């Protein structure tokens, strides 16, 4: 009954590899997000999808490509991994309330370590 | 431009002492302000939002538009309050949420 789930929880890989992180939410929300939390705990938005459409695309290298097959899923594919990609990646979702997009519900995070 | 500033990276107080985590924002309109908390090895979760005017786990935050601040306060800190706290701002309904850089709160016994 987990609201926002991510797989895998941990990912250790070599530089240059391609990897994917999956995210699913069962809250019926229409908006999903990817955030990156670096080693200094700074949290920055990367992408946001609303009903499978990309609405926010921050200054992120194009090695990062999000994909939303349906509004309950938002996956993140990373090509040619670099050392600086090591971070915790959080998925989140929110619904459209009367005052706009409401509270963000976060997944448990995926710890990516690039060696 | 939208900006959220949390001037303290680390705040350490004794158990039972009052706590105030500072948050200042920059936004030209009427923003939505939030406090999110991340306990050790757990997911980020909403603590409170200004529009609810609630007290959650003894914490309160008042939006001060004149000072553009949304400081988080608790009169008596508890050890379980130790966590990372993020202040966040959302502008118009279509805009993203901007997070501050976070403040690590450490409660000493």
Tokens 């699913």 belong to which residue? A24
pLDDT (tens digit, 9 = 90+) per residue, A45-98?
999 888 888 888 787 889 999 999 998 999 999 999 999 999 999 999 987 666
**CB pair distance less than 8 Å for B46 and A41:** no
Size of interface A-B (CB pairs under 8 A): 52
Query: CB A107 to CB B43 under 8 A?
Result: yes
DSSP assignment letter at B41: T
Residue count of chain A: 115
The band of A22, judged by pLDDT with boundaries at 50, 70 and 90, is very high
Q: What is the pLDDT of residue B93?
A: 58
Q: How many CA atoms within 13 Å lie on the side-chain side of A25?
A: 28
Closest C-alpha to B96, from A91, A42, A49:
A49
Nearest-CA neighbor of B86 among B8, B18, B1, B2?
B8
- For residue A93, the chain B residues in CB contact (below 8 A) are none
Chain A interface includes B49 (CB < 8 A) = yes
Degrees (nearest 5) of the Cα angle B32, B35, B38? Answer: 145
Q: Which residues of A touch B102 (CB under 8 A)?
A: 41-43
Calpha distance B63→B24 (Å, rounded): 10
How far is residue A16's CA from residue B35's CA, in Å, rounded to a whole number? 37
Alpha carbons B20 and B36: distance in angstroms, whole number: 15
**pLDDT tens, B56-67?**
899 999 899 899
Give residue A98's pLDDT.
60
Structure tokens at B3: 């900006």
Instruction: Select from B36, B84, B90 the Cβ nearest to the Cβ of A100.
Output: B90
Residue B51 has a pLDDT of: 78
Q: Which residues pair with A31 in a beta bridge?
A: A50, A94
**Residue ranges in chain B modelled with pLDDT below 70:** 93-95
Distance of residue A109 Cα from the nearest chain B Cα, in angstroms: 7
Asked if A43 lies within 8 A of B97 by C-beta distance, the reply is no
Peptide bond into A72 cis (omega under 30): no
């Amino acid at each position: 009954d987990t609201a926002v789930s991510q797989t895998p929880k941990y990912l250790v890989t070599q530089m240059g590899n391609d990897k994917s992180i999956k995210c699913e939410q069962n809250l019926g929300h229409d908006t999903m997000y990817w955030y990156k939390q670096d080693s200094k705990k700074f949290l920055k938005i990367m992408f946001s999808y609303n009903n499978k459409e990309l609405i926010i695309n921050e200054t992120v290298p194009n090695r990062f490509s999000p994909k939303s097959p349906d509004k309950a899923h938002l996956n993140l594919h990373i090509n040619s991994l670099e050392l600086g990609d090591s971070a915790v990646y959080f998925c989140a979702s929110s619904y459209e309330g009367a005052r706009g997009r409401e509270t963000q519900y976060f997944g448990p995070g995926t710890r990516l370590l690039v060696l | 431009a939208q900006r959220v500033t949390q001037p303290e990276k680390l705040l350490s107080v004794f158990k039972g002492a009052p706590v105030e985590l500072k948050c200042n924002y920059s936004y030209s309109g009427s923003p939505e302000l939030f406090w999110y908390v991340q306990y050790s090895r757990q997911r980020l979760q909403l603590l409170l939002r200004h529009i609810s005017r609630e007290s959650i786990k003894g914490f309160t935050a008042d939006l001060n538009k004149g000072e553009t601040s949304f400081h988080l306060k608790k009169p008596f800190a508890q050890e379980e309050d130790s966590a990372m706290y993020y202040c966040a701002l959302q502008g118009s309904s279509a805009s993203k949420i901007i997070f501050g850089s976070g403040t690590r709160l450490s409660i000493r016994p």
